[in-house]
Each structure stands twice: as structure tokens, then as C-alpha cells.
Structure 1
Amino acid sequence: MIWQNWNKADRTLLAAAVIFLFALCLQVQYPGNTFAAGFLFCAEAALVGGIADWFAVTALFEKPLGFPWHTAILPRRRQSFIEATGRMLQREFFGKKALVAKVKRIDFAGKLLGWLERPESRLLVAKWLADRGRNWLEAQDGTSLSGVLAARLGDLAAGSMTPERIRSFLLYGAKELETVARQPEFSAKIEAGLDGYISSKLQGPMAMMMAGFAQSVNVLNTEEAAGLIKDRCILFLERVQQEESEEAEQLQAMAEKISCFLQKNFAARQELDHAVLNSVQRLNLNEYLFNATDERDILDGQLQELAGSIVQVVYGMLRENSSLQREVSGICYQLAARGVMQAQEMLGSIAGDVLGTMTDEQINRLVYDKAEPDLLWIRMNGSIVGAAIGLVIFAVMQFI
């Protein structure tokens, strides 16, 4: 039956029409009866209110009864709707101020300390450093290795941590971070963080409804957003390694800041220099170079010990030195905030691209499905409120 496929607003409007016809018959049967006249007045107001609100709701999506003026509002203004949706994502869910404030609240140094407190974390870092050191040694010429090391260690012992030298270390770190960012696990961690952030922002029914709509039309797609952030991070790390780029200039400024910090904190620098020099002196490099096969395991252990000593010293410095903690947090904040801002700027274009591929009917259906309960109650309230207002007006007319 057609009746079974009607929603409650359609049934309410049909009931109002039936009641109106009954009231009209009642008025014809009893023309001078006040009750019949009042009943007809209220039924008429309910029917008019229901029809008016049906027209208003339908006009949002299509042309009711073919009426062409100021109807089919969503299809006619789809471009404005698409742009507004993009702005909503950028300003409400991922607004610049909110994102920067979120990043600013992160205690990067505290999180790094918490991670380094675990022995397995320090072992992981030490192993990574040892692997990098072994790769560097294998790439050197055995006849000149001792001279290279002597020059490097002499500079280090002299405390010549110039901005240029620090910049070379940072560039090497950026190259390694780029390798990490290209791994699939990097996107998975970003996606998990975005899901948690969005869940924390959905604190009201309207926000939940809009988020559900955005997810249903694939506008709020955390997997795609994570991939985008990953791409922007890789692009940023690539630009850091390019000469004369804005990012390279920022890296140079960071190197100068670190160099200035080391110059001001002479004791901390001496502690690091001492740990590195003492550890390096224990390396059996000559035997390794002349008998690489037999001495590889020995050197690997020595490199691991060297890296472990360096990690332990850096961990102690970071734990005890509050100014170093502030420097680390500041550097991490600058990098994180810049990456977040670059990704945020692209959300509007993503929303536009996704919604732009949808037909008018698809957009209408998706919007209506998310707001259907409210739209049905708007239509039903037209009949209910109309009848109530009709009753009040009729009562007032009786006393005039």
C-alpha cells in the first residue's frame, strides 16, 4: 500500500486534509453552530500550515509542483554549498587557531623524555645511530679514515659546533625522517591521531550530525587526510634539503639557535663532547678496516656501546636541563605547526573536489538523510502549530 511508504509528516498532512473535509461537512450540516465553525477554522489553519511547511521543506531540494521561483535552493546554490562545506571543515573542525593551540599544548620535550625513559626506546635509538655509523664507516676510504676521524673529533673537542656543522647534522636527520615518513605505519599513526581529535570535538548533536554528513559524503575522510599530511610532511622534508628554499632558511635559523644555546651552555656541551670522545677512542677501527669479516661483530658491539653512551648523555641532559627542554619543545612546535598548517590549507579544495563530482540528486539525498528527523518535525509542526494558532485566533474573534 502507498500509505505504508509514507513518512509521518506525509501522514500528518493527509490527516489534516481529512479532518478539514470532515469539519467542512460538519459546518455545512450545522451552519450556525459555533463549535462547528471553530473546528473548521482550526482544521483549515492546520491544513494551510502543513501545506506551507511541506512547500518550504521541498523547496530546499526541488521545485514543488513545478514552482520555479526561489525553489530547488540546494541544487541552484550547490557551488555556495560546496564552498561553505569546505570552510566548515577548515574553520570548525580543523581551524587554524584550534590546530595551532592543540599543537602548542603538546609538551614535546615531556613526551620525548617519557619515551626515552623506557630502556627499549633508548636501545632502539642507539641501534639506529650505530647502523648509521656503520654505514658511514663502510663508505670511507681506509687509508684516509684515521685522518677524517682525527679532524672531526678535533673539531668536536674544540667545541666548534658552528651553525654550519649543526645544519649538516639537521639535514642528515631530515633525510632520515623522510625515510620514516614514507613508511605506511606513518600514515596509520596520523590517521589514529585525527580520529581521536575529531571525536574530542564532537560535543553536540549539531556537530555530530554535520560530522556524520561530512563522513558520509567522503568529505571528512581521515584516511585521505592522513595521506595528505604524510605527503605534505615529505614535501616539507624535501624542501628542507633544497638550497635557497624558505624551509632551508628556517633550518639555518634553527641551527644558529642551537649553536647559540650550546655556546651559552658550555657545561652541557663539554659533557656531550667528553662522552663522545671517550667512546670513540675505544673503537677498534684499524683492525676492522684490515679484517672486515672477522672484526665486524666486534665493531658493531663497539658502535652500539658508543651510541648507547651518547643517547644516555643526551637523555640525562634533557632530563636535567630545563632550558634544553624549552629549546626542544620550541623546535618541535615550529615543525609540527608548519606541517599542520600546510595540510589544513588543502582541506577546502578536497571538499570541493569530492562534492563537485556528485549529482544534484546525490547531494539532495545525502543532506536529506542526515537531517530527515528534523525536517519531518518541521512539517508536522506546521499543522500542529497552525491548528493551535487557529484556535487562538478563533477564540479572540468570538470576543471582539
Structure 2
Amino acid sequence: MNRSPSQPPSDLDRARDLSRVKWAATLLLVATAALFLVARHFETQHWIWGYVAAFASAATVGGFADWYAVVALFRRPLGLPIPHTAIIPRNHHRIGENLGTFIEQNFLAREAVEKKLGEVDFAAQIADWLNVPEHGASLASFAVRRLPQVLAAIDQSGLRRFFGERVRTEMERLEVAPLAAGLLGTVIEKGRHQRLLEELLGSLDTLLTNEETLEALREKIRKELPALFNFYRADAYLLRKIVASTTAFVEEARTDAEHPLRREFDTFMRGFVEQLRTSADFAERAETFKRDLLARPEVAALADGAWDSLRAFLERDAAAPDSQMRRAFERMLVDIARQLGQNPAIRAEINRGIVRVLGDFVQAQKSGVGRFIADQVKAWDIDVLIGRVELTVGRDLQYIRFNGAMIGGLAGLALHALEQGVNIRL
């Protein structure tokens, strides 16, 4: 059966080719031996037969020697227990060990692996895959469908309690005073504490214009004044004066960036931050407050309630036909694909990260790969192994027999010519 040039040969084709080459090499050996006998018979009749006999004898020896060498690789020639034959069967296990070590140290070396992985643009392949709308939608749907199972696994496996305990432990280790000092210091440096003051003043102004608040203040004033003053409605007069003065003061503080109240507030905040940084008493009080807060059952109940509420929301959204999470995930994947396509720096960074991760993984596993290859080779049936090797390289090995016959014959011819030349001189 004819085979296309691009079609790899099958085992049957290799076996046929090997058999043909073996027969041809054997026939060549028989032919050189027969030629030697014929040449020896006619050697006395003409000098040329001496050269033919020298060529044929050396070619026979060369072909036979190479036949012996080729056969000795795979089995004992003629079944004889000759030393250093059947090389592959006798060294089966050592070949497996050496092959595993060779692959581990050369093919799986860090430099070789990272160089090969560096030729692959992983980020571009990810971007191309995500640019197909169906791929992003399928990935988002898969992730959302698996979310309820993940949440259930978290509850059933004890991860929820574990993470809760870890968070509590880390909170207990956290020093509140330095953290608060750092946060407030940043707020003050950017002037945002004045915005806080403005919000407080605005709330106070709103409070002073509330009818219920004004009525409560008036009732308080009425109780404190003598009855005679209440008869002349002094409570209303005092309330108007107090509210008017306070409102005017608040308005001045809100509109004047250099108002004394603002400066006092700034001084107070900076002093408070400094005490948080340096005062051991402040630090101890902050730690006491933190421990008392974490020990309250309401905090644990609040955390459990927040988790339950979050889980219920996520499960409802995951089951909804128009899931918000799925849409958000799809938009995120589209944005990732766009960023990867437009930003070579991000692609290069991702590729470096992937190469580093895969390289580390290969280095961590390469000894296991080498051991696996060695064990597999040692576990192979030796006859099957020899058959596979012969099918792969046997044809080329048989050509060594042709070469041995030709090189041997030419060497024998040259030596015979040299011998004749010496005899003529003598």
C-alpha cells in the first residue's frame, strides 16, 4: 500500500522495511563470501583475481563483524553466551535509570524549561479566548453556578469558623493606637478633618432649626426659670437669643477658613494624634476598649449575621436568570481581554508570572518525572522494548552492515595492493 510522503510510517511499514534491509545485508554477506571462494579458485589463472579475493574476503569479514555488533545490541549472536552481548536486555534497568536522570537534568533543567515556556505568549492566548463572547459567558455562568456549592462547602468544612478565629486572632494582635494615629494623621495632613468639622457644624445647624428640638430646649429652659419669668414668656426670649447666637456662630465657623474654632479643632486633632502615638495610657485604654468590644457576644452575632445575609444574597443572585454577579463577571472578563489586547506591558508581566509559576512547578516535580520515566522503562517487557527500538533505528543499524562490507572490502583491497607493491620491490 502506497503511503503519502507526509504520513508517518506505521509499525507494519517499519517492520517490512527492516525485513527487506536485513535480507539485503545478509545476501550481500553471502555474495561476498561466494565471491571470495570463486576468486580463490581462479587466483592462479590471472593476477586480477587476487585483488578480487582480497576485496571479497575483507568485505565478508567487515560485514560479518558489523552483523555481530548489531545483533549484540539486542540479543546473543547465534544464541551463544558470548560476553558483552545482548547489551540492551542486560542493561535494561540501568538504561531506565540513566534515561530518567538524563531527561530530568537536561530536558527539565530550569533554563531549558523557562526558555521554552518563554516562547509562548500565554496572555495573548488568554485574551484571544476571552474575546469570544461565548467563552466569557460560559466561564461566568460556570463560576456563578458553582458559587452555592462553594458557600455550602465553606460552612460544612469548618472554614467559616477557622477564618473567623483567624480574623479574631489577628484583630487581638493589632495595636489600635498606632493604627488610629496613622489613619487620623493622614486625614489631618490632607485637611479632611476640617470637612468633618463642617459636617458636624451643619448637623448642629440643622438640629437648631428642628421644631421638636426647639420645643425640647424651651421646655428645659422653662423648668429652670422662676415661674414669674415664665409668665412674661422669658423662656421663648432666651431660646431665640440662644438659637440666634449659636446659629450665627456656626455660620461664621462654616464660612471662615481662619475661624478660631477651626484652629482650635485643628490643634485638638493634632494633639490627639500625638497622644495616640506616644501615650502609653492612651494605648492601654485603646487596647482595653478593643478587647472589651471583641469579647461582646453582639460582635460575634453581628459577624454571623453579616455572613448569613451575604450568603443568602449570593445564593439568590446566583439562582436568578438575570444574575448581577454573572453580568459583572462577564464585564470583568471583557475588560480583562481588552486590557490584555491593548497593553503589551501587562501581557509581558503576566507571561513572566506564568513562566515563573510553571517553571517552579516543573522544578518541584521533575525528580518525580525522572523517576516515573525510569520506572516505566524498567517495567517494559524486554522483548517489546527491543522490538520498539529495532523498529525505530533497526533499519539504519542494518545499513551499518552494508557500510562495514564496503569499507572492509576497500581496506582489504588497499592492503593487498600494498602487499603486491612490496613484493615487487623485493
Taking structure 1 as the reference length, the TM-score comes to: 0.51
Matches for 1:1-400 after TM superposition, within 5 Å: 7-27=23-43, 30=44, 33-65=46-78, 66=80, 68-90=82-104, 95-131=109-145, 300-312=322-334, 314=336, 324-400=346-422
Structure 2 CA distance, aligned partners of 1:386 and 1:344? 46
The one of the two structures with greater contact order (alpha-carbon pairs below 8 A, sep at least 6) is 2
Residues 16 and 43 of structure 1 are in contact (CA less than 8 Å); yes or no, is this contact kept in structure 2?
yes
Say if 1:116 and 1:296 are closer, same or farther in 2 by CA, change over 3 A.
Answer: closer
Separation in 2 of the partners of 1:399 and 1:91?
56
The 3-state SS of whatever aligns with 1:43 is: helix
C-alpha contact 1:115 1:121 (8 A) present in aligned 2: yes
Residues 54 and 413, structure 2, Cα contact 8 Å, conserved in 1:
yes
Gaps of 5+ in 2: 1-18, 156-307
Q: Deviations over 1:263-307 (max 9, x none)?
A: xxxxxxxxxxxxxxxxxxxxxx99x979x99x9875743333343
- Deviations, residues 186-232 of structure 1 (Å, cap 9, x unaligned): xxxxxxxxxxxxxxxxxxxxxxxxxxxxxxxxxxxxxxxxxxxxxxx
Partner Cα distance (1:107, 1:330) in 2: 10
Distance in 2, matches of 1:304 and 1:135, equals 16
Cα shift at 1:326: 4.8
Distance 1:315 1:382, change over 3 A: closer
Conserved in 1, the CA contact under 8 Å of 2:318 and 2:325? no
Q: What 5-or-longer segments of structure 1 have no aligned partner?
A: 142-284
CA distance in 1, matches of 2:96, 2:352: 37
- The alpha-carbon deviation at position 365 of structure 1 amounts to 2.9
Query: In 2, Cα distance between the equivalents of 1:359 and 1:108?
Result: 40
In angstroms, what is the RMSD of aligned CA positions? Answer: 4.0
SS at match of 2:42: helix
Q: Structure 1 58/125 Cα, relative in aligned 2: closer, same or farther at 3 Å?
A: closer
Q: Distance in 1 between matches of 2:359 and 2:326?
A: 34
Task: Name the SS of the counterpart of 2:67 in structure 1.
Answer: helix
Note if contact 2:147-2:318 (Cα within 8 Å) is conserved in structure 1: no
Displacement of 1:6 in angstroms is: 6.4
Which is greater in Rg?
2
Q: Is the 8 Å Cα contact of residues 21 and 395 (structure 2) preserved in structure 1? A: no
User: How much has 1:105 moved relative to structure 2?
Assistant: 2.9
Query: Partner letter of residue 361 of structure 2?
Result: G
The percent of aligned pairs where both chains have the same amino acid is 27
Q: Output the TM-score relative to the length of structure 2.
A: 0.48
Alpha-carbon offset, residue 35 of structure 1: 1.8
